[in-house]
Chain A
Amino acid sequence: MILPVIVLTLIVGTFGALLVFVASLLGPKKKKTAAKYMPYECGLPGQETTKSNVSVRFYLTAILFIMFDIEILFLYPWAISYQEFIDAGYGAYMLGAMLVFIGLFIFGLLWEIKSKALEWD
């Protein structure tokens, strides 16, 4: 079941590596100049490198993503089994269980929006 996935990963990886390798063989070799090897910046001389400060909001977004991602993943088995539970007569129970869970989800989201943790400027 997992074997074809591994095989395909290896095939695609080899294919990509081969492309990169062939391109590096075929390309013309030209003289290196200092201007050519400057980090690209629309023709201006480079001023700052990657060591500049990056907004911490990216970090906040990522950590909030983990939380909501886990909640969504718990909804998947719920969604798959929902109709089965309804047929067994537990539909209202399942809906209630999910409503509590989603209620917490919505509360978290509203909390974020209200406390402006999701604001970008």
Chain B
Amino acid sequence: MGSDGFEITINIIKMLVIFLMMVQMVPVLVWVERRGSAFIQNRFGPNRVGPLGLTQLLADAVKFLFKEEFVPPASHKWLYYAAPVLALIPGALAFESIPLSMPIHVNTESGAHTFLFQGYDVGVGIVFVLAVSSLGAYALLLAGWGSHNKYSLFGALRASAQMISYELAMGLSLVGILMLFQTFDFQRMVEIQRGTLHFWLFGKEISLGFLPNWGIFFQPLGFVLFATATFAETNRTPFDLPEAEAELVAGYHTEYGGLKMLMFYIGEYGHMMVASALMVTFYFGGYELPFYSSQSLVEALSQSMSSNAASIVGALLLHVVFMAKVLFFLWVFIWVRWTLPRFRYDQLMDLGWKTMLPWALANVLITAFFVLMAHG
């Protein structure tokens, strides 16, 4: 029982740490977004509070806390308060199921333990992530309905219609990657992407030693479709129609302020982090370094320290690798937001249904054909 207690304690702490890490990433990302947008638009951005404006985040947090509580009198109180809380949950649930580094193996006096570097593993990885993200539409719908403001409602309707439209393209663009990896499990996908690029074609093995064995080289079209669909799923520019300030004030969170507004932000940035982590896991080798596998890293480390320490240090190092890849894609999200203009709504729906869906279908057919060819 002592060994069980140890594992349960570690797992709960791990879950809390990952959640808090996700939450505290948000102010950092907001800072990067504000400085980055200023850089792109040839402005300064926040640069007065602290070095490089870094403590602006703290000032913002204090300001958010001490904002006046405002509830629109015509609103539905329950829904109005529940919506920001619900906005937090899907992102957190999805992010915790993605492996952020390799599993840690430790030997204690109570026996050998293996701790996954993720909140939990439900066994169906990507389908679980898709399922909980599909619940994200409710937070927007409830916020829009609960605020009793027509702009909020229109914003929520637009957001949910857009989310469900692009969910199709996103789900379909993943079929190709599932065909190649034959699994829903993230851990397994990362393991498959180890080593250098090699594949079979017409019964001949082709190996390209100068490239890592990443999913992007097998599924370039799938990656483009998936990345575009995630931009729409997270309601980011150029797909931020739900928040089009020229038409809808601020969209579904028009009537929200202070911390409740911040919680919608945490939800949005949480979705961005999930999307980036998924892109890294599917197409860019997950937490693995190119050309240097995690096993050889652990072996090299265990030359100079105990095997327990080597496992922990190796996992932390690879976590840094993973986060570096994720941060790159988060920067791409910000970069795109301040580069591209917004779509019109009919263009947005046309792109989702008439362009991306057919291309995703084509990707499935092409991949199916090549997989059949690869097996001779």
Contacts and interface: CB of A to CB of B under 8 A. Distances in A.
Q: Do A and B bind each other?
A: yes
Given A4-B120, A29-B68, A80-B179, 11 more contacts: A5-B122, A7-B12, A16-B85, A20-B85, A20-B263, A24-B69, A28-B66, A37-B72, A42-B249, A99-B365, A118-B353
Interface in B150-194: 150-151, 153-154, 157, 160-161, 164-165, 167-168, 171-172, 175-176, 178-179, 182-184
A75 B364 contact: yes
A22 B67 CA distance: 11
B122 A2 contact: yes
B232 interface: no
Interface in B52-74: 64-70, 72-74
Interface residues of A, number: 68
A75 B365 CA distance: 12
A86 B373 CA distance: 10
B97 to A, nearest CB: 8
A115 interface: no
B248 to A, nearest CB: 10
A116 B74 CA distance: 38
Interface centre among A37, A48, A75, A113 (most CB of B within 10 A): A75
B353 A39 contact: no
Interface in A64-83: 65, 68-69, 72-73, 75-76, 79-83
Interface string A40-68: 11100000111010100110011001001
Contacts of B346: 119-121
A54 B255 CA distance: 20
A50 to B, nearest CB: 5
Nearest to A99: B365
B7 to A, nearest CB: 12
B354 interface: yes
A80 B182 contact: yes
24 contacts: A1-B120, A8-B119, A12-B19, A12-B88, A16-B86, A20-B81, A20-B260, A23-B67, A23-B258, A23-B260, A29-B68, A39-B74, A40-B249, A48-B150, A50-B145, A62-B164, A69-B168, A72-B168, A73-B171, A80-B178, A82-B182, A86-B375, A113-B353, A120-B350
Contacts of B341: none
B93 interface: yes
Interface of A: 1-2, 4-5, 7-9, 11-13, 15-17, 19-20, 22-24, 26-30, 36-37, 39-42, 48-50, 52, 54, 57-58, 61-62, 65, 68-69, 72-73, 75-76, 79-84, 86-87, 91-92, 95, 98-99, 102, 105-106, 109, 112-113, 118-121
Interface residues of B, number: 77
Contacts of B68: 27-30
Nearest to A51: B150
B317 interface: no
Given A11-B15, A16-B88, A76-B178, A83 B165 contact: no
B150 A75 contact: no
B243 interface: no
B220 interface: no
Contacts of B88: 12-13, 15-16
Given A4-B15, A5-B120, A11-B19, A19 B168 contact: no
B221 interface: no
B371 A83 contact: yes
B161 A109 contact: no
Contacts of B350: 118, 120
Given A5-B120, A23-B69, A109-B357, A12 B179 contact: no
Contacts of B254: 40
Contacts of B342: none
Contacts of A113: 353-354
A64 to B, nearest CB: 8
A50 B12 CA distance: 43
A29 B122 CA distance: 45
Contact of A27 (B69, B121, B160, B175): B69
Given A8-B19, A16-B263, A69-B168, A92 B119 contact: no
B211 interface: no
A39 B372 contact: no
Ranked 8 nearest A-B pairs via Cβ: A16-B85, A120-B346, A23-B259, A4-B120, A79-B178, A27-B69, A65-B164, A79-B179
A87 B104 CA distance: 34
Given A7-B12, A28-B66, A76-B127, A40 B151 contact: yes
Nearest to A69: B168
